[in-house]
Amino acid sequence: MPVHTVATIYGLCSGVNTITTLRFMEDALTLAQKQSLAQAVRDRFLPQFKTPCAAAMNWTTIVVSMQGDVNDSPYQLAINVVGGGSNLAPHQVAVQWNLFTGVAGRRGRGRLFVPGIHTGAIGAGKIASATKLSMDSDMTTINSRWTVGGSEAYHLGVLSRTDNALRAVVQVGYSEIFATLHSRRLGVGI
């Protein structure tokens, strides 16, 4: 596995632990850079990520580490970021974000799952129109910041399970149909 940066976002949703893993292309970060990335994820990633979430969804910690580096010292940032919607949908309901690298096939795609969806985000089995408008705007912001050529200093990556290569994300989108999470005690992420 290539050495790369991982930001793991821990949360709690009505007593259920959630874990979202973001992979980044950078292969060596100082402690100050890890702190900067954790703050950027808190301030400029989570505001877009939490759009369809209920107030019961509370992100509590971001840990930035170097995956594959045995000498790494992770950086941990305590946070308190909550969703804004009212009633919580069943825990298995999630929004699926799709990460595209420009490489065809499974090895060129990744996924993120947004947990803790509020019932107002659901309309006729799909994302409700008002939430979709907000998420379209969020995707524009995410793509302009966190993909290749984005304004952030760090860029999302996808680690392929088929060839063990880390590839840069060129576009982020989402599915209008909700995903169903199955607990395999693996957490949520890519």
Give me the residues of the chain with pLDDT under 70, please: 1, 182-190
pLDDT of residue 181: 78
Specify if 188 maps to a domain.
Answer: no
Asked, for residue 23, whether it belongs to a domain, the answer is yes
Q: Determine, yes or no, domain membership for 187.
A: no
Triad 36, 72, 18: Cα angle to 5°: 65
Residue 91 has a pLDDT of 83
In the chain, the number of structural domains is 1
- Where in the sequence is the domain holding 170, given as residue range(s)? 4-182
User: What is the β-pairing status of strands 188-189 and 16-24?
Assistant: parallel
Instruction: Quick: pLDDT tens for 23-34.
Output: 999 988 999 999
DSSP state of 30: -
**pLDDT value at residue 18:** 92
Q: What is the pTM of this model?
A: 0.90
> How far from chain centre, in Å, is Cα 104?
22
- Asked if the structure places residue 26 within a domain, the reply is yes
Q: Examine residue 105 and state whether it is found in any structural domain, yes or no.
A: yes
